[in-house]
């Protein structure tokens, strides 16, 4: 199988602070990593796509200065929510494709529940 982990699994922070979420591929090299956001009873919405060593591509309406993505290696991508506000409270999920497989299969992490007070 292909295992993707996320850390932390949940986080509560005060409004105005920054929060970093890590996404790691544990047993494979990830060609591309994706970051999604899911609000209650809604579907996953793609926020950005990142490839190792290059700048992330953000979806329309997603502020790149607020959601900083760093794809430092083939096994690690981080999402930093800067100056978080209550409306940023959501379930953040990462996924990745494997370098040794077709690009049409994504492996998802378990998600990170962010609550901003």
Interface contacts to another protein, rule CB under 8 A: 4, 6, 32, 34, 41-46, 49, 91, 93, 95, 97, 103-111, 113
- What are the beta bridge partners of residue 10? 113
Using CA of residue 58, residue 64, residue 66, residue 69, what is the dihedral sign? positive
**Nearest residue (CB) to another protein, 59 versus 63:** 59
CB of 10 to another protein, least distance (A): 9
Query: Measured from the CB of residue 52, what is the shortest distance to another protein in angstroms?
Result: 14
Q: Collapse the DSSP code of 19 into the 3-class scheme (helix H, G, I; strand E, B; otherwise coil) and give the result.
A: strand
Sign of CA dihedral 44, 46, 49, 55: negative
Report, in Å, the least distance between residue 108 CB and another protein. 4
């Amino acid at each position: 199988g292909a295992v993707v982990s996320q850390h932390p699994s949940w986080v509560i922070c005060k409004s105005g602070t920054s929060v970093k979420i890590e996404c790691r591929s544990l047993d494979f090299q990830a060609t591309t990593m994706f970051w999604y956001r899911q609000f209650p009873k809604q579907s996953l919405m793609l926020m950005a796509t990142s490839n190792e060593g290059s700048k992330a591509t953000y979806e329309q309406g997603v502020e790149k200065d607020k959601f900083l993505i760093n794809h430092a290696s083939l096994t690690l991508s981080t999402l930093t929510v800067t100056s978080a506000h209550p409306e940023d409270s959501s379930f953040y999920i990462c996924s990745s494709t494997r370098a040794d497989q077709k690009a049409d299969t994504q492996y998802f992490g378990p998600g990170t529940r962010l609550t901003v007070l």
